[in-house]
């Protein structure tokens, strides 16, 4: 029935992931994201709508291809972890444009980590030097395992140098990566130590300020930066001089000018959009010596793709929920509530009658 809405919560996704290995799921989501980026012009695109507070942001991310519409609700509150809460939580909806009816309401907190790793992977496949083997991973929080697993299992990274200002976060990451026996994980004492000799540098820190996580003297020719954590006005990770010397690829330029590392650069600083690289209209890397930056902020299209993936592959795990009334006569919305009204009123009547008696 068209009005039935599927629901995928954390438990449903966990059940699915018990039978589907994470690398396989990230790879499949990357396939969905790539196929949607390849039909870039089919989408009605807009920069996300952000509501900022001093310590965080709540964003709505809508997009449509004319057949399906999706939005994601997502927050970013770096101080949350000190209170035992996630920095990033999310949920989203996939709807049919023809009727406007929602078809899927889903958790997107874990899914965001999967789709962000998938997008990083797509960019790195096109931008990192072939044969990249060593990655520095700066920021070892909620997103970090997903990035590490994607780059190890799907790009050929076999050594990861990890650093976080919070040693407990690094302990957690190292423990979670122990299952990947072919991956060497080395703890670094500083960002500079982690970055030295790395082919790829993934920054995935959370701090609402213009942080200088990586500075120009740490950069070596040919490095690829996968800059994930700077995704909000006033929240960046790379020194602007690194961008000035690099080939910079963004997701959706109007949004990245406001939110990405790009916010630090002049308005006419040239960038390429990811779809152009994936489409073969632009190159992701000009030479082995070139420094490349994927300035990731997260774009609605990636959530649209992830929701499509969930909609297709998790239908056996999803619940059907009564989000939309089921009506035999769609003009009789009142009929959906009328049958219950007497049940509410009868006890009231009984007590009134008793009072009168």
Ligand X SMILES: NC(=O)c1ccc[n+]([C@@H]2O[C@H](COP(=O)([O-])OP(=O)(O)OC[C@H]3O[C@@H](n4cnc5c(N)ncnc54)[C@H](O)[C@@H]3O)[C@@H](O)[C@H]2O)c1
Which residues are part of the catalytic machinery? Answer: 231
Draw the binding track, 47-86, toward ligand X (x: CB under 6 A; -: no contact).
-----------------------------x-x--x-----
Could you give the angle at which helices 144-155 and 22-37 cross, rounded to 10 degrees?
80
Task: Tell me: does residue 165 bind ligand X (CB under 6 A).
Answer: yes
Task: Tell me: does residue 89 bind ligand X (CB under 6 A).
Answer: no
| Interacting residue with ligand X among 62, 92, 102, 141 (CB under 6 A) | 141
Task: Tell me: does residue 143 bind ligand X (CB under 6 A).
Answer: yes
Nearer to ligand X, 173 or 318 (CB): 173
Which residues are CB-contacts of 336 (< 8 A; sequence separation ≥ 6)?
325, 326, 327
User: What are 161's two structure tokens?
Assistant: 């140098």
| Interacting residue with ligand X among 297, 300, 301, 318 (CB under 6 A) | 297
Distance (Å, rounded) from C-alpha 325 to C-alpha 323? 7
Nearer to ligand X, 8 or 188 (CB): 188
Distance (Å, rounded) from C-alpha 302 to C-alpha 275? 12
Nearer to ligand X, 91 or 317 (CB): 91
Nearer to ligand X, 105 or 228 (CB): 228
Q: In the bound complex, which residue of the shown chain has the CB atom lying closest to ligand X?
A: 141
* Exposed/middle/buried for residue 251 (C-beta within 10 Å: 0-12, 13-18, 19+): buried
| Interacting residue with ligand X among 64, 106, 116, 263 (CB under 6 A) | 116
Draw the binding track, 216-235, toward ligand X (x: CB under 6 A; -: no contact).
------------xx-x----
Distances in Å between the Cα of 227 and the Cα atoms of 36, 171, 248, 308, 326 are 22, 22, 11, 26, 46
Task: Tell me: does residue 173 bind ligand X (CB under 6 A).
Answer: no
Nearer to ligand X, 167 or 325 (CB): 167
Q: What angle do CA 320, 322, 323 make, to 5 degrees?
A: 110
Segment near ligand X (CB under 6 A); pick from 3-11, 161-169, 194-202, 348-356: 161-169
Task: Tell me: does residue 171 bind ligand X (CB under 6 A).
Answer: no
Q: Smallest distance, Å, CB 248 to ligand X?
A: 14
| Interacting residue with ligand X among 12, 164, 261, 290 (CB under 6 A) | 164
What DSSP assignment string belongs to 242-304? HHHTSEEEESSHHHHHHHSGGGGS-TT---EEHHHHHHTSS-S-SSTT--EEEE----HHHHH
What beta strand segments (E) does the chain contain?
5-8, 49-52, 57-64, 68-76, 90-96, 102-107, 134-138, 159-163, 184-187, 200-203, 210-214, 224-227, 236-238, 247-250, 272-273, 292-295, 319-321
Task: Tell me: does residue 136 bind ligand X (CB under 6 A).
Answer: no
Q: Smallest distance, Å, CB 240 to ligand X?
A: 17
Chain residues that interact with ligand X, rule: CB under 6 A: 76, 78, 81, 87-88, 112, 116, 138-144, 163-166, 169, 204-207, 211, 213, 228-229, 231, 296-298
């Amino acid at each position: 029935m068209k009005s039935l809405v599927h629901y995928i919560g954390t438990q449903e996704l966990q059940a699915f992931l018990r039978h589907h290995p994470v690398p396989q799921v990230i790879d499949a989501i990357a396939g969905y994201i790539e196929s949607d980026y390849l039909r870039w012009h089919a989408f009605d695109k807009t920069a996300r709508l952000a509501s900022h507070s001093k310590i965080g942001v709540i964003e709505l991310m809508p997009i449509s291809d004319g057949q399906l519409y999706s939005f994601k609700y997502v927050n970013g509150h770096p101080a949350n972890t000190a209170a035992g809460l996630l920095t990033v939580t999310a949920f989203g909806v996939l709807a049919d444009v023809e009727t406007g009816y929602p078809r899927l309401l889903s958790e997107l907190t874990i899914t965001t980590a999967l789709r962000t790793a998938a997008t990083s992977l797509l960019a790195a496949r096109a931008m990192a030097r072939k044969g990249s083997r060593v990655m520095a991973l700066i920021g070892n929080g909620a997103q970090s395992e997903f990035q590490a697993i994607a780059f190890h299992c799907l790009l050929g990274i076999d050594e990861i140098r990890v650093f976080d200002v919070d040693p407990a976060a690094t302990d957690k990451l190292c423990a979670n990566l122990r299952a990947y026996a072919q991956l060497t994980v080395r703890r670094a004492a500083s960002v500079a130590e982690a970055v030295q000799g790395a082919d790829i540098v993934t920054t995935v820190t959370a701090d609402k300020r213009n942080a200088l996580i990586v500075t120009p003297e740490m950069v070596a020719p040919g490095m690829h930066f996968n800059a994930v954590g700077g995704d909000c006005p006033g929240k960046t990770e790379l020194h602007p001089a690194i961008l000035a010397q690099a080939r910079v690829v963004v997701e959706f330029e109007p949004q990245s000018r406001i939110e990405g590392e790009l916010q630090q650069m002049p308005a006419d600083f040239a960038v390429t959009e990811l779809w152009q690289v994936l489409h073969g209209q632009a190159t992701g890397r000009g030479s082995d010596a070139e420094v490349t930056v994927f300035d990731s902020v997260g774009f609605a299209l990636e959530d649209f793709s992830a929701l499509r993936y969930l909609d297709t592959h998790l239908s056996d795990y999803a619940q059907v929920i009564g989000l939309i009334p089921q009506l035999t006569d769609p003009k009789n919305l009142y009929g959906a509530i009328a049958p219950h009204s007497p049940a509410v009123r009868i006890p009231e009547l009984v007590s009134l009658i008793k009072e009168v008696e």
